[in-house]
Every structure is written in structure tokens, then in C-alpha cells.
Amino acid sequence: MNVNQSAPPVPPFGQPQPVYPGYHQSSYGGQPGSTAPPTSYGAYNGPVPGYQQTPPPGVSRAPPSSEAPPASTAQAPCGQAAYGQFGQGDVQNGPSSTVQMQRFPGSQPFGSVPLAPVVSQPAVLQPFGPPPTSAQVTGQLAGMQISGAVAPALPPVGLGYGPPTSLASASGSFPNSGLYGSYPQGQAPPLSQGQGHLGAQPPQRSAPPQASSFTSPASGGPRMPSMTGPLLPGQGFGGPSVSQPNHVSSPPPQALPPGSQMTGPPGPPPPMHSSQQPGYQLQQNGSFGQARGPQPNYGSPYPGASTFGSQPGPPQPLPPKRLDPDAIPSPIQVIEDDRNNRGSEPFVTGVRGQVPPLVTTNFLVKDQGNASPRYIRCTSYNIPCTSDMAKQAQVPLAAVIKPLARLPPEEASPYVVDHGESGPLRCNRCKAYMCPFMQFIEGGRRFQCCFCSCINDVPPQYFQHLDHTGKRVDAYDRPELSLGSYEFLATVDYCKNNKFPSPPAFIFMIDVSYNAIRSGLVRLLCEELKSLLDFLPREGGAEESAIRVGFVTYNKVLHFYNVKSSLAQPQMMVVSDVADMFVPLLDGFLVNVSESRAVITSLLDQIPEMFADTRETETVFAPVIQAGMEALKAAECAGKLFLFHTSLPIAEAPGKLKNRDDRKLINTDKEKTLFQPQTGAYQTLAKECVAQGCCVDLFLFPNQYVDVATLSVVPQLTGGSVYKYACFQVENDQERFLSDLRRDVQKVVGFDAVMRVRTSTGIRAVDFFGAFYMSNTTDVELAGLDGDKTVTVEFKHDDRLNEESGALLQCALLYTSCAGQRRLRIHNLALNCCTQLADLYRNCETDTLINYMAKFAYRGVLNSPVKTVRDTLITQCAQILACYRKNCASPSSAGQLILPECMKLLPVYLNCVLKSDVLQPGAEVTTDDRAYVRQLVTSMDVAETNVFFYPRLLPLTKSPIESATEPPAVRASEERLSNGDIYLLENGLNLFLWVGASVQQGVVQSLFSVSSFSQITSGLSVLPVLDNPLSKKVRGLIDSLRAQRSRYMKLIVVKQEDKLEMLFKHFLVEDKSLSGGASYVDFLCHMHKEIRQLLS
Ligand SMILES: [Zn+2]
């Protein structure tokens, strides 16, 4: 019996090379009863048998009809040129109706209340419930504190477009801090209550604490309070001290023993991980978690870090001041600290419950038994033992899972393990797959399931002796016993109809209506496909892709093409009966690219000519998808449809849509209808697609409203992607489109997939977010899943958890590879469990929390008024922070805002979510933009949501030109812009180059090849290629930023005080937005007020 023929060629913990042993074994086909395929899978059925070979009625060889002249609607000029190149709709604008205003009646504009100081602290170990005693407090790590009475400026109630208020007055150092142009700098806006205090009293800066007191925690460990922050001046204010992230302003620095942080949580994984096995060994034996020594990271309260609890005296009542933006937690600082502390050492996954480095930190991962954070990130790595605790904290327990994540070249793909004809070894009861946490007992003859505790027999062929520690002696030779992530070859039991799958197919379906032809899209696309078809995904060392291709063009009828290799010329077959779609040909429709190359090339040459004179403006949409799906069904394979579509499908056909865009619905209870599909037909269609393993990628080229909310239903439910190029023009947009297309066509996809997340007793997966379909409550069905897509899973308690055994997740993805191989990819992750709330707060990951919260909120807009969704988010955030304050923070005055160290960025990031286009759209954000962003975010991973909500702003001339590294980012606020500098801003979808008005002439010349600022073309999207260091550096940086993102970011050059600057400023998310979104400072004050209300 062959068990694991894939002995790793390298020692156990080297990063193994994937191997594909035994795939061609002929011994498959056994039907072991014990390895039942996932239950849901049985529901699949094979292709419909009744495929008809005879050409059905309606088929003709007539050329495409030229019909009605272009309808006026379809020709409407693109009214939003500026946004056309900017179609992703990230503009931060919106109506003035803001939560704060609605929530707080005029008498109480938020922020006008004397504000509280902000303190961020690491959680401390202390009993939750009663307030900490002083003795307990002495055991604390210091946090940062921001205290000081604050009255953030607020727009007057009811005044939607509040002028720059707090920020403007806050800095004083930037000439351009008057925001948004409409209010000249320094000009007083209409005063609100709070504004009376503004500027009246510049912040007094107390002496900064000694830097040495805050030197970084040991690197490599769980992300601990970062104490390396710049020692920004504390806010003396005479009152409650306004503290600063990462430092304490009062008590005086000397109260803090230098280095006290160092005695806190030991950072790095203990030495044992970096050497060989201890630690790992423990995991192997003894039931998971048991034999382990005290968790190195959390074993004891931070000894020695004694000072912080007792500091701030009672706040003295003072006139409210405003917060200094420098004194509140800075995303930039947190990111920098994590890079410095954790970027140099590999993240070794051998220890349960370790918080990984931030997504913004470059680090390598060594798999020693838990899945890499590239595959799974959790909101917390320490789960409350009871549901009561979890409810009290309100911290969502969720995992963001990216099962097919691409890895950096230094990290190898998961091993493929072959358990032979009996298939992967699983628990008989819960069907969990063999993993490092299963416990072998009785000399190795049986194993106890780490998920359900069931005792299982070890099949004779899998038997192995145990060593003196109880570990199998072959543990390190077997990926499934030693690694967090690996793959199993699936047997035929895991295949539809008990039949190994055929290789998948790609079908290109091209809109050839008037708009598509006129914009140049069709010609561009056909030309590109000729070469792109040589780069279809391949597996391993395969010489050519196994994927077959087919072609369809359409307007209000469909044209299928026979591109069989034996033909001299392609043949077209027209199906005009779109109400009852069928595929008019089977043989010759899906072909191998190299065999049919001549015919395909001929077809792609002819398509633009055939339709060059079309006047057909109407399109169908659902019948196109239906046709592609039927073609895959007839070919008995899974696959992907690439749809290139331009307009609202108004032609008479199933799935016909009408223009129902109505901006008057914004901020009403009916706003949710804008996000809902206008017909149920697409859900039904999507369900059929999923059953066939037909994934749909949609490229949209709209000149006006196309109802993205409805058109994206099928891509969304089939695991596909949507791309949108508003007002597409070849000359302006071809680079972005072609770049996205190339990447999309080439990316590796798992087809016809089912994902199941199993958990150990006590918690279970209860909710799922992402691009997929679910027909029951446990199985995530994905017609296709690529390496960019994530599935977010929320967990709830159904029993009490145990600190000793912790909690386990196992994500199993069954899929068909690009070569048609059926496989299971397994990711395992062990988490800690806690009885102290402080442990929860100390092991959270805010970036992941925000990813979850954004997805939760974006789904919420389908069913609830946007205001309700926003309020829910704010309330939840306040509850999370209030619970920390009540149970974990040091005693201090109610006037202080105390934030957990790991969550000190929660307010700033949450504010960015609240201000996003989906939840608070500006006047120029279209309904389609909102729907588009909504569905994009649903599948984003943590790194993508992080930069999407809080864009990266990089100054370009501050760092030496020679410097090869990326310049350090600055905070996304206008205050941080210097008019003598140039900045890049990116958020994963958009890329701006902002040029200050006083930039040196030499810089202008070097970058733009013009002699003065005024000669720079605003809106420029390509920098001239110039042979000088600055030009090379900036273009290199742009390339590097693009390479980091999954979608091409088109560059827009913005000149200071130019019209386009408004666009750019929407991304300065710490500032108050034109649509009424609060500034960071104001929002923090608001959040503090909410927390105080909860505590009182
Ligand atoms: Zn089990």
C-alpha cells in the first residue's frame, strides 16, 4: 500500500517542494466506504444527458444582423470624464447626513463635549469584571496615553459641509491645511460650540518621555504593544494628559523604568522553534496543546512593567481643547514599528495562538504545523472560553481565509500527499482530515480526533510506531503530520459522478454591440487574445495548458464559432432564440489552442471586421452566461467564462433589465434596493453555474448606468471577478484593461470547489462572507476560486472552550486544478483560549477585524438602511473598547480614552470604513461605483482592505534618490503634504502622483520634462521615460506598487490646487470629507463619548 510516497526531499522543516507522486496510478477507483466525500458534493449531478447534436432551429449562418440604429441612451456621452478613468469609485464624498448628526441632536454635537484623553494600553492580566486593583495595575505594561480635554471642532449641526475645523487649526504648520478649498486657510468656518475653543489655546507640549523607555519589545513575538513610536510630545494641556500613541505624557517619563516593556511579553517564538523540534514535538504528541509548557508569550502578567497603571491623576476640569493629531494613534507608526520589530525574522508557525506580523510587514513564513498567515488570519488568536465572555467583549471571532493564496518565491507551495486508493485519512465521525494535531495512541494503532475526540483505528497501511514521546517516528516525513498546510490527491470518490474530471475550459464571450466596437474594445481585445492564449494557466512543468478555449460574440443574439483545427476558416452559428438558450455545436467549439491556432487567429482577425459597421446597440446578458454554462455542461467540464460587456441589457430576453438608478433613494430606507439585484433571475442562473463549476469573470465597459448590482450577481456567486472601466477609450485605458486581463486569464484557479471549515468542539463556523454560493449552512461552493479571493468565516461558541486544549480550525478545499486533477487543500490553525478578557485584547489583529467589519457592514446595506449599518458599526466598536476599558485597563479617570494596544487603530480604520463610498457616498459617486466597490471588498484579503480603507501616501523627494527602499509613508491627511514635495498615493485601486506647487524646478524637469510647475499636464497618466535618477526611481516605485496589487492602478497626476485635486483629497482619510465623513480626530472624540456613555 502506498502511503505517502512523497517523502520530502528536504528535512522536515525545510520548505518542501511540491511533488505530485502517484497521480497516474491506475489503482484508483476503489470505493472505500469510509471515506465518504463531503456530503454536499453528492448533490452535484453530471452533465445533462440530453444534449442534442442536431442543429436546433434558429441556427443560421447569416452574418450578424444590423438592426436598429443606436438608441440614444446607449450613445449618451460619458458624463464623467474625470471619473471615467477613475471608475472604481473610491471617492470619499457623500451627503451630509452623518451618523453623528443624527445620533446627537443639536444640543449635543459630537465633539463639543470636553474630551477625554486618549490612552492606549496593552491589555493586562487581571480578572475581568471588577475594576483593576492597584496591585494589579502595577503589573501592567504601560500603554500610551492621550489625555487632555478636547473639544474637537465640529461642524455646526445641520451644516453638511463643515469647513475644515479641527485639523486646520490643529497643525498650524501647513500652509494648506485649510481643507477643501472652499474655505481659505484660516478662515473661520461657522462656529459650532466646540469651535470656540479651537486654536485659542495651542497645545502645550510636555516633555516627551525618554525614548529609551519605550524601546521596542523583543522582536518576532506576537505583536505587542509597540513602544517604539516616535516620541511625540504629550499633550500637557494641564488637564488630563493627552497621551500619545506609544508614550505616556503624564506621569513624567522617569516614572517609567527604561526598558520596562522589555520585560513584558517575550516576543520571539522561543528558541525552540528556530531549532528543531521541541515545541513541535509537543504538538505532535499528547493531544494538541496539552503537553506544552506554559505558553511563552502569555504565561504571566508582565512582570516589571509596573508603572503605567497608576499614572494619570484625576483629570482636572479644564476648558476643552482639541486633540493634536500628532497625539493620537498613528497608523504609520504602528506599521513602521511592526516592520522594524518583526520584519527581520521569519514567522515560525509552530506555536499555538501566535499573532502574526502585520500584513504591511514583509516577512517570511516557516510552516511548522499551523497554516501561514497568508492563508488564514484571525481577528483574535486567543478566543474567550465562554460565549458570555465573547458577548461581553463583542470582538467578532472570525478568520479571513485565502485557501489558494499565492506565496512569495521563497516559500514553496503545499506538498501534495497521496494516500493511495483509500484516499486521505479522515476521522470517521467528523470527517476531519489527518493533521498534526491528531493524537496517536495505543502504540500508534489508533488516533484520537482533535476536533471531535472520536477514537479511530489507524489503517494498517498507515501504521507507524511511536517514539518515547508518543510521536510517530515518521511525523517529519509526512506533511500531514508536521505542516499546517498541504494537499491530498483526491480519489474518484471526491469527483462528480465518480468520474475524474476533464480539464477545464475557458470561454471568451465578447459584446460586439455598437459601443464595444466604437470604443475600440473589440479590436483591442481580439488582438490581445491572439497572444494571451499562449499563457493559459499550466500546472507544474507542463509544456502547454490543458485548458481548452471557445469563443462567442453577442449583441442581442449570440454567435458561436466553430474553430476546429481541421477547418480552413472559422464558422459562425447564430442563435437568435435567446429565450431558450442552447449550444448549437459541440465538436469544434472548445478546442486546444495549439491545435487550432490558425483557425483561432483567423477568427480573432475577422471579428472586429465582421461587426465594424454594426448599429446594434441592444445587448442581452443572462442568455450569454446561460450559453457558456450550457457549453461547459455539454463538454462535461468545469471552466470559466470571460465576459466583456458594455451596456444595460435591455434587449428582450431573460434577465432583461431596466434603468432603475435613483439617487433620490440615497439616505432613505429604500437605499438598500440600489444594492439588491432587480430580478431573481440571476441568482437562479448563478446556482446552475455553480452546479456546473462554471465561474464567470465580468469585464464591464459602461458609458452609463449598467446596474452593476444585478450584473455582478453571477460573478459574485460563482467565485468570479468583476472589473469595471467606465467610459472606456483605448488610448486612455488600454494599459489598465490589458494588464488586468492578462493577469486574470493567467491566474491559477481551482474549479468546481467546495470548502468546509471544521472546528474543534466548542466553536463552529456560523457565517460566511465572500464570492461563493451556499446551498446549506456548512459548505462553501465555489465554481471557481483563485489566489486573490478570500472567504471570511465567523465563529460562535456552542460550548465552553478549554484553555489547555485551545481551539482548532481546519479548512478543507476540494477543487479541480487547472490540469484537471482533483485535490484537497488542507489548512490547519490552532488558537489559544482564555478566561481573561485581557488575553483576548492582547492577541487581536485590528486589520483583520476591520476586514471582517467592513464585509459585515457591506453585506448589511442589502437589508438595512445605511445609517443603521453605520450605527451598528459604531456601537460595536464602542462596546469592544468599553469592555476593554472596564475590564482590562488601569484605573483612570473617565476622562481618558484608553485603547487596547492591539486595537489602538480601530477608531481610525473604522472611521475610514464609515466614510467609504458604500456607506457614505459623495455626490459624484455613482450607484454602480458603490455596487462595484461593495462586491470588490467582499473578497478582499486583509492586506487589500488595509490599504483600500487607509491609503498609502509616500513622499518622493524626502528620501535620498539612491535609496532603494520605499520611502516611509506619511499619514493620509492634507496636513502632511508639503507643497515643496511630490507624493504617491495608492489604495490598491487608484494611484495618484500629487505635485506640490512649490516643487523645485529641477524636480519638475527631471520627472516631467517640462520647465515649470504650470506646464505639467494635469491628469497625466504616464510619466515620460527620462534618463535621470529621480525619474527612474519614481517610475520604478510606481511599477513596484502596481506589482504588489491584484489590479492595475492607473496613474493620475494631480497638481496642487488643480481641479483634480478634489479627487485626490477624497483619499486623505484622516481629514474631514466633503461628504460629511468625520475627521479622525473628531471621530476619536465621538468614539470616546460613546464609550463613556456605555461605561456610565
Ligand atoms: Zn473527528
Q: What is the pLDDT of residues 1040-1078, one digit of tens each?
A: 999 999 999 999 999 999 999 999 999 999 999 988 899
Q: How far is the CA of 812 from the centre of ligand 1 (A)?
A: 14
Q: How far is the CA of 42 from the centre of ligand 1 (A)?
A: 21
Q: How far is the CA of 351 from the centre of ligand 1 (A)?
A: 22
Peptide bond into 357 cis (omega under 30): no
412 secondary structure, DSSP code? P
- Give yes or no for residue 969 having a pLDDT over 60: yes
Averaged pLDDT for residues 133-152: 34
Strands 763-769 and 205-206: unpaired
C-alpha cell, 256: 517609567
CA distance 252 to 256: 8
pLDDT for res 127: 37
What is each CA distance from 660 to 88, 622, 861, in whole angstroms?
A: 20, 18, 17
- Give yes or no for residue 1029 having a pLDDT over 80: yes
pLDDT for res 321: 57
Contact 24, 537 (CB under 8 A): no
Q: How far is the CA of 350 from the centre of ligand 1 (A)?
A: 22
Contact 251, 307 (CB under 8 A): yes
pLDDT for res 322: 65
Q: How far is the CA of 454 from the centre of ligand 1 (A)?
A: 5
Q: How far is the CA of 828 from the centre of ligand 1 (A)?
A: 14
CA distance 130 to 136: 11
Q: How far is the CA of 406 from the centre of ligand 1 (A)?
A: 30
Q: How far is the CA of 759 from the centre of ligand 1 (A)?
A: 10
Q: How far is the CA of 763 from the centre of ligand 1 (A)?
A: 14
For 507-536, how does the pLDDT look when each residue is reduced to its tens digit (9 = 90+)?
999 999 999 999 999 999 999 999 999 999
- Give yes or no for residue 553 having a pLDDT over 90: yes
For 22-80, how does the pLDDT look when each residue is reduced to its tens digit (9 = 90+)?
333 333 333 333 333 333 333 333 333 333 333 334 434 434 444 444 443 333 345 33
Averaged pLDDT for residues 981-995: 96
CA distance 898 to 221: 24
CA distance 573 to 794: 48
Q: How far is the CA of 668 from the centre of ligand 1 (A)?
A: 49
Least confident interval from 68-77, 176-185, 924-933: 176-185
CA distance 629 to 643: 12
Helices (H), 511-592: 514-518, 521-532
Q: How far is the CA of 756 from the centre of ligand 1 (A)?
A: 14
Averaged pLDDT for residues 984-990: 96
Q: How far is the CA of 449 from the centre of ligand 1 (A)?
A: 5
pLDDT for res 609: 97
Q: How far is the CA of 833 from the centre of ligand 1 (A)?
A: 20
Q: What single string gives the DSSP state of each residue in 1017-1061? A: PTT--S----SSHHHHHHHHHHHHHHHHSSSPPEEEEEETTSTTH
Q: How far is the CA of 294 from the centre of ligand 1 (A)?
A: 26
C-alpha cell, 1020: 497625466
Q: How far is the CA of 34 from the centre of ligand 1 (A)?
A: 13
pLDDT for res 222: 37
Residue with cell 442589502: 862
Q: How far is the CA of 280 from the centre of ligand 1 (A)?
A: 22
Q: How far is the CA of 631 from the centre of ligand 1 (A)?
A: 40
pLDDT for res 1016: 96
For 649-677, how does the pLDDT look when each residue is reduced to its tens digit (9 = 90+)?
999 999 999 999 998 999 899 999 999 99
Q: How far is the CA of 224 from the centre of ligand 1 (A)?
A: 35
pLDDT for res 540: 77
Q: How far is the CA of 666 from the centre of ligand 1 (A)?
A: 49
Q: With bands split at pLDDT 50, 70 and 90, how would you rate the model's confidence at 541?
A: confident
Residue with cell 464591464: 700
Q: How far is the CA of 438 from the centre of ligand 1 (A)?
A: 9
**Greater model confidence, 436 or 889:** 436
Q: How far is the CA of 765 from the centre of ligand 1 (A)?
A: 16
Q: How far is the CA of 531 from the centre of ligand 1 (A)?
A: 49
Report the first-to-last Cα separation within the chain, whole angstroms: 68
Q: How far is the CA of 799 from the centre of ligand 1 (A)?
A: 16
Q: How far is the CA of 14 from the centre of ligand 1 (A)?
A: 29
Q: How far is the CA of 780 from the centre of ligand 1 (A)?
A: 20
Q: How far is the CA of 1003 from the centre of ligand 1 (A)?
A: 65
Contacts of 899 (CB under 8 A, 6+ apart): 118, 119, 120, 121, 143, 144, 329, 881, 884, 906, 907
- Give yes or no for residue 833 having a pLDDT over 70: yes
Q: How far is the CA of 379 from the centre of ligand 1 (A)?
A: 25
Write the single-letter amino acid at 234.
G
Q: How far is the CA of 424 from the centre of ligand 1 (A)?
A: 14
Q: How far is the CA of 805 from the centre of ligand 1 (A)?
A: 15
Q: How far is the CA of 288 from the centre of ligand 1 (A)?
A: 14
Q: For residues 113, 117, 123 and 129, what is the CA-based torsion angle, rounded to 10 degrees?
A: -40
pLDDT for res 176: 34
**What integer best gives the mean pLDDT of the chain?**
77
Q: How far is the CA of 430 from the centre of ligand 1 (A)?
A: 4
Rounded to 10°, the helix 866-887/906-914 angle is 170
Q: How far is the CA of 689 from the centre of ligand 1 (A)?
A: 32
Q: How far is the CA of 465 from the centre of ligand 1 (A)?
A: 22
Q: How far is the CA of 354 from the centre of ligand 1 (A)?
A: 24
- Give yes or no for residue 814 having a pLDDT over 60: yes
Residue 259, Ramachandran bin (φ over 0: left; ψ between -120 and 50: alpha; else beta): left
C-alpha closest to that of 694 among 504, 862, 524 = 504
- Give yes or no for residue 800 having a pLDDT over 70: yes
Q: How far is the CA of 427 from the centre of ligand 1 (A)?
A: 5
Q: How far is the CA of 434 from the centre of ligand 1 (A)?
A: 10
**Greater model confidence, 95 or 434:** 434
Q: How far is the CA of 811 from the centre of ligand 1 (A)?
A: 14
Q: 1024 exposed, middle or buried (CB, 10 Å; 0-12, 13-18, 19+)?
A: exposed
Q: How far is the CA of 107 from the centre of ligand 1 (A)?
A: 59
Q: How far is the CA of 429 from the centre of ligand 1 (A)?
A: 5
Least confident interval from 182-191, 548-557, 772-781, 1010-1019: 182-191
Q: How far is the CA of 38 from the centre of ligand 1 (A)?
A: 14
CA distance 747 to 638: 16
Q: How far is the CA of 388 from the centre of ligand 1 (A)?
A: 26
Q: How far is the CA of 458 from the centre of ligand 1 (A)?
A: 13
Which residues sit opposite 769 in a β-bridge? Answer: 792
CA distance 124 to 462: 46
Q: How far is the CA of 452 from the centre of ligand 1 (A)?
A: 4
CA distance 393 to 841: 9
Which residues sit opposite 383 in a β-bridge? Answer: 833
The number of beta carbons lying within 10 Å of the beta carbon of residue 29 is 12
Q: How far is the CA of 352 from the centre of ligand 1 (A)?
A: 20
Q: How far is the CA of 761 from the centre of ligand 1 (A)?
A: 9
Q: How far is the CA of 824 from the centre of ligand 1 (A)?
A: 17
**Greater model confidence, 260 or 854:** 854
Q: In percent, how much of the chain has pLDDT > 70?
A: 71
Q: How far is the CA of 401 from the centre of ligand 1 (A)?
A: 21
C-alpha closest to that of 698 among 724, 728, 679 = 724
Averaged pLDDT for residues 456-463: 96
Q: With bands split at pLDDT 50, 70 and 90, how would you rate the model's confidence at 870?
A: very high
- Give yes or no for residue 468 having a pLDDT over 70: yes
Peptide bond into 251 cis (omega under 30): yes
Least confident interval from 151-160, 467-476, 933-942, 1048-1057: 151-160
Averaged pLDDT for residues 9-31: 35
Q: With bands split at pLDDT 50, 70 and 90, how would you rate the model's confidence at 120?
A: low
C-alpha closest to that of 813 among 822, 804, 826 = 826
Q: With bands split at pLDDT 50, 70 and 90, how would you rate the model's confidence at 777?
A: very high
Q: How far is the CA of 243 from the centre of ligand 1 (A)?
A: 50
- Residue 870: phi and psi, rounded to 5, are -65, -45
472 secondary structure, DSSP code? B
What is each CA distance from 256 to 140, 332, 637, 959, in whole angstroms?
A: 11, 24, 67, 34
Q: How far is the CA of 448 from the centre of ligand 1 (A)?
A: 8
Q: How far is the CA of 412 from the centre of ligand 1 (A)?
A: 29
Q: How far is the CA of 433 from the centre of ligand 1 (A)?
A: 8
- Residue 60: phi and psi, rounded to 5, are -150, 170
Q: For residues 886, 887, 889 and 895, what is the CA-based torsion angle, rounded to 10 degrees?
A: 0
Q: How far is the CA of 842 from the centre of ligand 1 (A)?
A: 31
Q: How far is the CA of 789 from the centre of ligand 1 (A)?
A: 28
C-alpha cell, 382: 486567543
Q: How far is the CA of 487 from the centre of ligand 1 (A)?
A: 19
Q: How far is the CA of 441 from the centre of ligand 1 (A)?
A: 15
**Greater model confidence, 327 or 533:** 533
- Give yes or no for residue 257 having a pLDDT over 50: no
For 287-314, how does the pLDDT look when each residue is reduced to its tens digit (9 = 90+)?
232 333 333 333 233 333 332 333 333 4
Q: 268 exposed, middle or buried (CB, 10 Å; 0-12, 13-18, 19+)?
A: buried
| CA 743 to chain centroid | 18
- Give yes or no for residue 174 having a pLDDT over 70: no
Q: How far is the CA of 450 from the centre of ligand 1 (A)?
A: 7
- Residue 219: phi and psi, rounded to 5, are -80, 160
pLDDT for res 122: 56
Q: How far is the CA of 297 from the centre of ligand 1 (A)?
A: 29
CA distance 371 to 743: 26
